[in-house]
Structure 1
Amino acid sequence: MPRDDRSTDDRRLMRPADRLDIPRELRRTIVRRRAYDADAFGRMSERIARFLGTGQFLVYMTATILLWVGWNIFAPEHLRWDQYPFIFLTLALSLQASYAAPLILLAQNRQEARDRVQYERDRDVDARSRADMEFLAREMAALRMSIGEVATRDFLRSELRSLLAELDRTPEDDRV
C-alpha cells in the first residue's frame, strides 16, 4: 500500500467537497424535497399586517359584524347560529386579534431589520462623503498654498516695469 506523505490538513484541503472554490455536486434523491423559502411567512405576515391597517379592512370588518349581528337578531329563529350575547362573534374577533397582533409584530420586526440595514448603508455613505469632503478641503488648501507661490499678473507687471525702467537707465549709464 503506498504511503501518503501529505499531512492530514493537506489531504483535507484536497477533497473537492470541502473546498469553497469548487461547487458541490448535486446529490440526486429518489424523492424530491420541496424548496423551503424562509421569508415566505414573513412576506405573508407583512401583506396581512399592511391590509389590517387599511380603511378597506375596517369597512369589511364593520360590514361583517353588522351583517352577523343583524342576521342573528332579525333572522328566523331556526336560522340563527349565534344568539344575543354573540359568544361566537366574540370568539371569532378574539381569534382574529390573537393572530393579528403577532403578525403585526413580525412585520414590524422585519421592517426594523430593513431599517437597520438602511441606516448602516446611510452611515457608510455619510462616512464616505465626509472623507471625500475632507480630501477636497485638503486639496483646496494645497491649491491655495501653491497659488500663493505662483507669480500673479500684477507681480509680473511690476517686475517687467522695473526691468524696463532698468533697461531705460542702462544705455545712459554706458555713455558716461
Structure 2
Amino acid sequence: MRTRVLPSRRRGRGDAFGRLTEAIARGMGTPWFLVGLTLFVVVWMGWNTLTPAAWQFDSAAIGFTALTLVLSLQASYAAPLILLAQNRQDDRDRVQFEQDRQRAERNLADTEYLAREVVALRLAVRDMASKDFIRSELRSLLEELDRRDEAAAAAAAAAASDAADAAAKAGQETAASGLHG
C-alpha cells in the first residue's frame, strides 16, 4: 500500500479553481455582463460594417464568421463553468441541509426533554398542597390546640378545686379532732 509523505496540493488548487469558476459564473449572471457583451457585439458589428474595408477583420458579407466563432467559444466555456458553479453550490446546499437536519434533531430532542420536564413539574405541583389546604389544616390544628388548652385549663381548675376541697376537708377534720380531744 502506498501512502503520501507530503500533503496533496490538489485539494487547494481544486478549491481555488472552484472559486474562480463560481466568480466567473456569478459575473456572467449580472446585468453588467449582458450590457458589456451587448456593447462588445455592437462595437464589433459596427467596426466591421462602418469602417473602411482595409480596417475590417470580420466581413459582414459572410455573416460575421469571427464574431460567431468568438460567441460560440464563449458559450462553450460558459456552460461548463456554470455547471461547475452549480455543482459547488449543490455541495454547499447538501452540507447546509445536513447541518439544518442535525440542528432540527437537536431542537426536537431539546423540545421533547423540556416537555417531559414540564409534565414532571405539573405532576409535582399537583401533588403539592395548595395554600387553601394548608390554611384549613392549620386552622384545624389551632382549633385542636385550643381545645386541648381549654381541657388542660379545666383539668387544672378542677384539680385546684379538688385540692382546695381536700384542704378544707382536712382543716375541718383537724378542727373536729381538736374539739374532741
TM range (shorter): 0.7 to 0.9
Tell me whether 1:108 sits opposite 2:86 in the alignment.
Answer: yes
Q: How many residues align?
A: 148
| Aligned position for 2:98 | 120
| Aligned position for 1:81 | 57
User: What is the alpha-carbon distance in structure 1 between the residues aligned to residue 144 and residue 64 of structure 2?
Assistant: 115
State the 1:93 CA deviation: 0.5
**Structure 2 gap segments, 5+ residues each:** 156-181
Pick from 70, 73, 76 the counterpart of residue 46 of structure 2.
Answer: 70
For residues 81 and 25 of structure 1, do their structure 2 counterparts lie closer, same or farther at Cα, with a shift above 3 Å needed? closer
Structure with bigger gyration radius:
2
State the 1:49 CA deviation: 0.1
State the 1:168 CA deviation: 2.4
State the Cα RMSD in Å.
Answer: 2.1
User: What is the alpha-carbon distance in structure 2 between the residues aligned to residue 171 and residue 59 of structure 1?
Assistant: 104
| Aligned position for 2:34 | 58
What secondary structure does 2:14 align onto?
A: coil
What secondary structure does 1:115 align onto?
A: helix
Tell me whether 1:43 sits opposite 2:19 in the alignment.
Answer: yes
| Aligned position for 2:169 | none
User: What is the alpha-carbon distance in structure 2 between the residues aligned to residue 46 and residue 96 of structure 1?
Assistant: 16
Amino-acid identity (%): 55
The one-letter code of the counterpart of 1:152 is S
User: What is the alpha-carbon distance in structure 2 between the residues aligned to residue 35 and residue 116 of structure 1?
Assistant: 24
The one-letter code of the counterpart of 1:150 is M
State the 1:153 CA deviation: 1.9
CA-to-aligned-CA distance 1:80-117 (integer Å, 9 cap, x gap): 01111101101111110111011001100100110010
State the 1:171 CA deviation: 3.8
State the 1:41 CA deviation: 1.6
- Normalising by structure 1, what TM-score? 0.77
The one-letter code of the counterpart of 1:56 is W
Q: Which structure has greater helix proportion?
A: 2
The one-letter code of the counterpart of 1:154 is D
CA-to-aligned-CA distance 1:151-171 (integer Å, 9 cap, x gap): 222211110011112222334
